[in-house]
């Protein structure tokens, strides 16, 4: 397989280790500047990560009819078709050249917490005769990623000079969404509005992204698109809109996009970590003063997420 980079402008994305005692101090600097970093020392074994990618490949290799049968348009779970999502509708002439599969926390319909309006419900699972290990691998990874993201939020709290546990209550029942992505072999043509994944910021507090060895991810830094070199088995972490609101813009929800070529298919696995659906997100008292009034209207985490899904997903049909 030939893997060619879309651009040659590589810059160094900082690396933070979760087990580094200096992590909060380093995070502060990274979050105030670039808003993207590699995260290591996360405790996941390379084999665990490879298993998730292997199951993802097997899922996307199913027939189109089998995949389309696994779609829940009310809660945005399960399969989303190639080009169903358009992350930058203002400039894109076609949908993102990728297909996806959303997995949230499994909440059976008999559970008192079941509430599709708040995206709380069961997942779509392929038949265990067809993909016998898929569910266990995905549920295992969802649990592990939830714990890692919860710890990352504690490190972020410390980096802001807050108590380690400051945000804990907002993440007791987080909206934690694992998404498998499969990019088509397709040349992105930004000048014609064709993107693998249009420019956007993520919606929650932080995203833990795993990618295969294929390039394509770019971030907007100092008004220039720069490449994020793939580093399999490390997370690429970016901050989301909720953290930008909480910190009054001190921490950046950085714009990013993906460009691909016709040389390779690309697989990536973002894990989106959003606060409890009802959380009201507003400027932290430590991030405002007389000369620096709140810049953003307070928002409700879940409402922000649902309205973003409505803007970007053609098939999303929330129960309302
Ligand atoms: O595939 C990638 O590398 C990034 C995907 C992404 O930014 C997203 O799904 O929000
Ligand atoms: Fe993203």
The answer to the question of residue 81 being in a domain is: yes
The answer to the question of residue 317 being in a domain is: no
pLDDT for 10 equals 55
Q: In what order do the strands lie in the sheet with 224-227?
A: 197-200, 256-258, 217-221, 224-227
pLDDT, average across residues 92-116: 96
How far, in Å, is the centroid of ligand 2 from the Cα of 257?
7
C-alpha distances in Å from residue 71, one per residue of 99, 120, 178: 12, 15, 15
Tokens, residue 254: 């950085």
Ligand 1 atom at minimal distance to the Cα of residue 98: 1
Mutate to test the pocket of ligand 1, among 88, 103, 198, 217 (most ligand atoms within 8 A of CB): 217
Ligand 1 site residues, Cβ closer than 6 angstroms: 181, 197, 202, 209, 211, 217, 256, 258, 268, 270
Mutate to test the pocket of ligand 1, among 207, 220, 227, 234 (most ligand atoms within 8 A of CB): 207
Q: Which-ligand-closest: CA of 182?
A: 1
Neighbours of 124 (CB within 10 A): 16
**Strand 15-17 relative to strand 36-40: parallel, antiparallel, unpaired?**
parallel
The answer to the question of residue 318 being in a domain is: no
How far, in Å, is the centroid of ligand 1 from the Cα of 111?
31
Ligand 1 atom at minimal distance to the Cα of residue 100: 9
Residue with tokens 């649990």: 143
Q: What is the pLDDT of residues 37-75, one digit of tens each?
A: 999 999 999 999 999 999 999 999 999 999 999 999 998
Of all residues in the chain, the percent with pLDDT exceeding 90 is 89
pLDDT for 314 equals 93
Q: What are phi and psi of 170, to 5 degrees?
A: -80, -5
The answer to whether residues 48 and 137 touch, using CB atoms and an 8 Å cutoff, is no
Query: Which residues make Cβ contacts (< 8 Å) with residue 123, sequence separation at least 6?
Result: 77, 78, 103, 104, 106
pLDDT for 234 equals 97
pLDDT, average across residues 101-113: 97
CA-nearest residue, atom 10 of ligand 1: 202
- Find how far residue 3's CA is from the centre of its chain: 24
Q: Which-ligand-closest: CA of 267?
A: 1
pLDDT for 9 equals 55
How far, in Å, is the centroid of ligand 2 from the Cα of 3?
22
Longest dimension (CA), the chain: 62
Q: Flag whether pLDDT at 1 surpasses 50.
A: no
ipTM at complex level: 0.99
- Please tell me the chain's helix, strand, coil percentages from 3-state DSSP, rounded to the nearest 5: 30, 25, 50
The answer to the question of residue 209 being in a domain is: yes
How far, in Å, is the centroid of ligand 2 from the Cα of 199?
8
Q: Which-ligand-closest: CA of 96?
A: 1
pLDDT for 4 equals 39
Q: What is the pLDDT of residues 259-274, one digit of tens each?
A: 999 999 999 999 999 9
How far, in Å, is the centroid of ligand 1 from the Cα of 53?
15
CATH number at residue 20: 2.60.120.330
The answer to the question of residue 178 being in a domain is: yes
Position 319 confidence tier, pLDDT thresholds 50, 70, 90: confident
Q: Which domain holds residue 139?
A: 9-312
The answer to the question of residue 268 being in a domain is: yes
pLDDT, average across residues 155-183: 97
CA-nearest residue, atom 5 of ligand 1: 270
Q: Apex CA 295: angle with CA 290 and CA 296, to 5°?
A: 140
Domain count across the chain:
1
**What Rg do the C-alpha atoms of the chain give, in angstroms?**
19
SS3 309: helix
Q: Which-ligand-closest: CA of 183?
A: 1
Q: Flag whether pLDDT at 203 surpasses 80.
A: yes
Lowest mean pLDDT among 146-160, 243-257, 299-313: 299-313
Q: Tell me the pTM.
A: 0.95
Mutate to test the pocket of ligand 1, among 209, 230, 254 (most ligand atoms within 8 A of CB): 209
pLDDT for 141 equals 98
Of all residues in the chain, the percent with pLDDT exceeding 70 is 96
Of residues 9 and 249, more confidence is placed in 249
* Whole-angstrom distance, CA of residue 145 vs CA of residue 134: 16
């Amino acid at each position: 397989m030939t893997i060619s980079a879309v651009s040659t402008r590589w810059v160094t994305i900082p690396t933070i280790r979760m087990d580094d005692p200096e992590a909060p101090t380093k995070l502060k600097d990274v979050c105030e500047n670039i808003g993207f970093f590699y995260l290591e020392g996360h405790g996941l074994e390379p084999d665990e990560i490879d298993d998730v990618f292997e199951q993802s490949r097997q899922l996307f290799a199913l027939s189109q009819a089998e995949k389309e049968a696994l779609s829940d348009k009310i809660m945005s779970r399960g399969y989303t078709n190639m080009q169903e999502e358009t992350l930058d509708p203002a400039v894109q002439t076609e949908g993102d050249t990728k297909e996806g599969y959303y997995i949230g926390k499994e909440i059976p319909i008999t559970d008192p917490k079941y509430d599709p309006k708040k995206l709380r419900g069961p997942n779509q699972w392929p038949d265990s005769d067809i993909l016998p290990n898929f569910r266990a691998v995905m549920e295992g990874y969802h649990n592990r990623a939830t714990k890692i993201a919860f710890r990352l939020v504690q490190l972020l709290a410390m980096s802001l000079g807050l108590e380690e546990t400051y945000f804990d209550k907002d993440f007791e029942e987080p909206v934690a969404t694992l998404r498998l992505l499969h990019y088509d072999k397709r040349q992105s043509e930004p000048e014609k509005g064709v993107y693998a994944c249009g420019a956007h910021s993520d919606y929650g507090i932080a995203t833990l992204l795993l990618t295969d060895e294929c390039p394509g991810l770019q971030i907007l830094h100092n008004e220039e698109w720069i490449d994020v070199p793939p580093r399999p088995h490390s997370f690429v972490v970016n901050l989301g809109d909720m953290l930008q609101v909480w910190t009054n813009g001190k921490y950046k929800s950085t714009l990013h996009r993906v460009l691909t070529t016709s040389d390779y298919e690309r697989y990536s696995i973002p894990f989106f970590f959003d606060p409890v659906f009802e959380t009201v997100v507003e400027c932290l008292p430590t991030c405002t003063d007389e000369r620096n009034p709140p810049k953003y209207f307070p928002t409700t985490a879940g409402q922000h997420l649902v309205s973003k899904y409505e803007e970007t997903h053609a098939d999303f049909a929330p129960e309302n």
